[in-house]
Structure 1
Amino acid sequence: MTRKYFGTDGIRGTANRWPITPEIAMKTAMSVGLAFRNGAERHRAVIGKDTRLSGYMIETAMVAGFTAVGMDVFMTGPLPTPAVAMLTRSLRCDVGVMISASHNPFADNGIKIFGPDGYKLSDEIEAEIEAMIESDLTGRLAAPSDLGRAKRIDGVHDRYIEFAKRTLPRNLSLSGLRVVIDCGNGAAYKVAPEALWELGADVVRIGVDPDGFNINRDCGSTAPDLLRRKVHEVRADIGIALDGDADRVIIVDEKGNIVDGDQLMAVVAQSFVEDGRLAGPGIVATVMSNLGLERFLGGLGLGLKRTKVGDRYVVEAMRAHGYNVGGEQSGHIILSDYATTGDGLVAALQVLAVVKRLGKPVSEVCHRFDPVPQILKNVRIAGGKPLEDDRVKATIDDAEKRLGNQGRLVIRPSGTEPLIRVMAEGDNQDLVERVVDDIIDALKKVAA
């Protein structure tokens, strides 16, 4: 299905450039409002955002769009994506919107949309919305007496903090743990440190001074070196790094080692098995998750169901097949007993609960398997379809034959950037590196 506006995670691009313009934002809100409005009663939308300067522009445009089709709007200000999903259900809204480009730099922004159940939209609904964005909606605007109202709502931070805390046993305290939390100067800069402090942790805060421009800049889950240095400096037990909208998490142990989403899923899965809480015959992850995770789960008698990249595809598979743990190597961890989307803070709290229960260092708790060598490289493309070139196809076929049954090859266009991502993994690191380099070279020649 070819889509013009929506990618793997909503609509995303450079702020004030197509498609992240006030005009498209307003028409998106109008289209979403019309798609979810049914019946004669008042309808509601909730809008959250991260800390990007352009969030004000997009928020205002979307408020205009929703109210123009007769929807009332609640505005939360900066708040994590999972909090917006939670509030969509809690406030009995018809739709929820998160304005964020997640881990991207400040100049980018995006629009993520949740249905009334708090889940991201299906491809089919997004296609319907795209068709409406392209159409003339003038005749479907609300009458002057039916325009929506907009208001900023208070107390949303406290509501989310309580929600996050309730995912842990009531008697569990994080007292005795020194935790460094890096909020990436993003949406969780208030709620995440406060939740950890209320649970009893000794909290050291970094990445909590957003200025509209510094979100994800040399901090957060995609740039964990700052966190590693701070963990070493204050001799912390653990470091937690969130991305700009706090739906993903990366952890740093007390030795400064980075713990990715695959290891975190392994920790949570084994913990859920031991507690009798794991639903389904295993967990769900994407094609990018390491083969070592699959082998680890196999040793526990569990399976790994793989999906294409994108946390919403993980969620769709979890819902369809009855799983309650899933995620991505990048740190999106979905625990459907608690949330409808990835929640970096809630995932980190589950890991902290295991650390407290076992009484062991994070470096031991969070190293459940040795990952097989995995190489991921990107090629920037100007356009066209280089993956359909015969020379590229021949190189990929040869690479698959060389890897045989001892490895995996995943090649895919990025859903958010003009890139092609090439990933290979296997027990022979030299072979894996050669395979990736050969494909990258072939793509560069075609894309040049």
Structure 2
Amino acid sequence: MGRLFGTDGVRGVANADLTAELALGLSVAAAHVLAEAGTFAGHRPTAGVGRDPRASGEFLEAAVVAGLASAGVDVLRVGVLPTPAVAYLTGALGADLGVMLSASHNAMPDNGIKFFARGGHKLADELEDRIETVYEQHRTGAPWERPTGAGVGRVSDYDEGFEKYVAHLIAVLPNRLDGLKVVLDEAHGAASHVSPEAFARAGAEVVTIGGEPDGLNINDGCGSTHLGLLKAAVLEHGADFGIAHDGDADRCLAVDGAGEEVDGDQILAVLALAMREAGTLRGDTVVATVMSNLGFKLAMEREGLQLVQTAVGDRYVLEAMKAEGYALGGEQSGHVIVLDHATTGDGTLTGLMLAARVAATGRSLAELAGVMRRLPQVLINVPDVDKSRVKTSAELATAVAEAERELGATGRVLLRPSGTEPLVRVMVEAADIEQARSVAGSLADAVKSALG
């Protein structure tokens, strides 16, 4: 069995790759592993379970709840809420674990399962590996202890999660948003009600698009992966700026008042300076991944801030932040972690804090984001290749070396197998966009040739 867990949980086409049987089995295995690890020692365990609006989330939620309850875990169903809300509630309610059903920015047919440990933190790799092992043992017939009678878990709905989470978001804002007009693109996803409510309570005038989920339209031509509608809406409504989330709202991208994109690197840069000014940027350090634009690194150096870079994936950003006590980290894709207020990327919180900086300074988002200049960057996704051989292919290593020689000190190359999709990402940065495109295209062809 190949590894089920990717960089962000278990993900695949719902009812094909990710079946009800798999969801149930993984939930049972997770309960057993966490019990063995001492998480449930001395008390009856509790889990919070949430989901995004995908139609498949309905049957997958039922399977997860059944698996947990059958393993003796009491379950609180928190309903349709963003991933960071489920993480927050896992900690706030003192639950022993949390489960979120979402495929984030993926298209509607996909779904996924994310587990959170006590406190709302993502599980360590070794626990995920152990869950896979136990799941496989159960799947192939190994018996497991099944509670009966009063030992089975009880299931109830927790309807207060929405209000508790929104109140948390408002409470941590440094200032109100009065006077701002903001367009929110909710991707017909999990934050369709949460984000507009939070921005409105904070004082902003809110225009919402992509806020009518029907179970089938999540991420469909909207949200953080399709910014065209948001750009048009910002211009149409004369808004100060726009915010876009993905399906589970752990991402935030922005569009300034002129309709220009503000990516995760720029958002990180704006928040880093705001937090340094407030005295909350511990160690004057920001954590980002190797995918961050070279312009971000140069901006941080110019501002006298330290940059720690990690592998791609917000879990690795979080690990580095927790290891050294850093307060801010994130990814170019819009995963931003403000560790004092969240245990994972939180798109709504990020958008609110970005808006708070605009309101507090009286400067436009475009002016604030100008702290860094993005170097031309080209990203090509190469599908239908053997992504497991990216690091071992001699042919590909030769192509990368040739590309690096061509770019010299003015650019860089990064090849990365996707952790959530069957493809390889080719990223090239250069001082000139045409050179970046040329090198990226050549490398994409090399990937197809070497790994196809």
TM-score range, shorter chain: over 0.9
Instruction: Please give the alpha-carbon distance, in whole angstroms, between the structure 2 residues aligned to 1:430 and 1:231.
Output: 30
Aligned: 1:236 with 2:235: no
Tell me the CA shift for residue 351 of structure 1.
1.0
1:161 aligns with 2:159: no
The aligned counterpart of 2:269 is 266
Contact 1:386–1:443 (8 Å) recurs in 2? no
Deviation of 1:51 after TM superposition, in Å, equals 0.4
1:279–1:322 Cα contact (<8 Å) kept: yes
Aligned with 1:151 (options 131, 156, 177): 156
Between the aligned partners of 2:386 and 2:370, the Cα distance in structure 1 is 41
Deviation at 1:53, TM superposition (A): 0.2
Pick from 203, 212, 216 the counterpart of residue 206 of structure 2: 203
Contact 2:90–2:116 (8 Å) recurs in 1 = yes
Residue 101 of structure 1: aligned partner: 103
For 1:7-64, what per-residue CA distance to the aligned partner results, in whole angstroms no more than 9, with x for missing partners? 010000000012x100110011101111223334211010010000000111000111
Whole-angstrom distance in 1 between the partners of 2:394 and 2:194? 51
Q: Which residue of 1 aligns with 2:331?
A: 328
* 1:32–1:129 CA contact under 8 A, matched in 2: yes
Counterpart for residue 15 of structure 1:
14
Secondary structure of 2:60's aligned partner:
helix
Matching residue within 401, 405, 408 for 2:409 = 405
Question: Percent identity of the aligned residues?
Answer: 45
**What's the offset of the Cα at 1:139?**
2.5
In the TM superposition, residue 398 of structure 1 has moved relative to its aligned partner by 1.1
CA contact (8 A) 2:52 2:82 kept: yes
Letter in 2 for 1:36: L
Counterparts of 2:435 and 2:389, CA distance in 1 = 23
Shift of 1:340: 0.4
SS in 2 for 1:349: helix
Deviations 1:214-270 (A, max 9, x none): 001011111111111111111111111111001001111110011000000000001
Which amino acid is 1:237 matched to? D
- Distance in 2 (CA, whole Å) between partners of 1:139 and 1:175 is 57
Matched AA of 1:413: P
> Which residue of the partner structure matches residue 173 of structure 1?
176
- Name the amino acid aligned to 2:20: P
Q: Equivalents in 2 of 1:364, 1:301: separation in Å?
A: 19
| Letter aligned with residue 4 of structure 1 | R
CA offsets 1:416-439 (integer angstroms, 9 cap, x no match): 111010111122333322221221
- Cα RMSD of the aligned pairs, angstroms, is 1.4
Alpha-carbon distance between aligned partners in 1 of 2:345 and 2:387, rounded to the nearest angstrom: 33
Q: Which amino acid aligns with 2:437?
A: E
Q: Who is 1:135 aligned against?
A: 137
Tell me, in whole angstroms, the C-alpha distance in 2 between the residues paired with 1:313 and 1:5.
18
Once residues 111 and 139 of structure 1 are traced to their aligned partners in structure 2, the CA distance between those partners, rounded to angstroms, is: 22
Q: State the AA in 2 paired with 1:150.
A: V
The answer as to whether partners of 1:280 and 1:321 remain within 8 angstroms in 2 is no
State the partner residue of 1:316: 319
Secondary structure at the counterpart of residue 221 of structure 1: helix
Match of 2:442 in 1: 438
- The whole-number CA distance in structure 2 between the counterparts of 1:92 and 1:389 is 47
- Please give the per-residue CA displacement for 1:180-231, whole angstroms capped at 9, x wherever unaligned: 1111110011111011111111111111110100001011111111111111
What secondary structure, in the 3-state scheme, does the structure 2 residue paired with 1:166 have?
A: helix
Equivalent residue letter for 1:33: A
1:367 matched to 2:367 = no
SS in 2 for 1:135: helix
Question: 381-390 or 41-50: which moved more?
Answer: 381-390
- Specify the alignment match of 1:73 in structure 2: 75
Q: Retained in 1: the 8 A contact 2:388–2:417?
A: no
1:219 aligns with 2:217: no
Do the aligned residues in 1 keep the contact of 2:387 with 2:417 (CA within 8 Å)? Answer: no
SS in 2 for 1:272: helix
TM-score by length of 1: 0.96
Code of the aligned partner of 2:242: G
Paired AA for residue 297 in structure 1: M
Match of 1:292 among 292, 295, 299: 295
Work out whether residues 65 and 155 of structure 2, in 8 Å CA contact, stay in contact via their aligned partners in 1: yes
TM normalised by structure 2 equals 0.95
Structure 1 SS opposite 2:167: helix
Gaps of 5+ in 1: none
**298-307 or 424-433, which deviates more:** 424-433
Distance (Å, rounded) in 2 between the aligned partners of 1:290 and 1:447: 26
Asked if the contact 1:413/1:420 (under 8 Å) is kept, the reply is yes
- How far, CA to CA, are the matches of 1:3 and 1:261 in structure 2? 32
Q: Counterparts of 1:423 and 1:236 in 2: how far apart (Å)?
A: 33
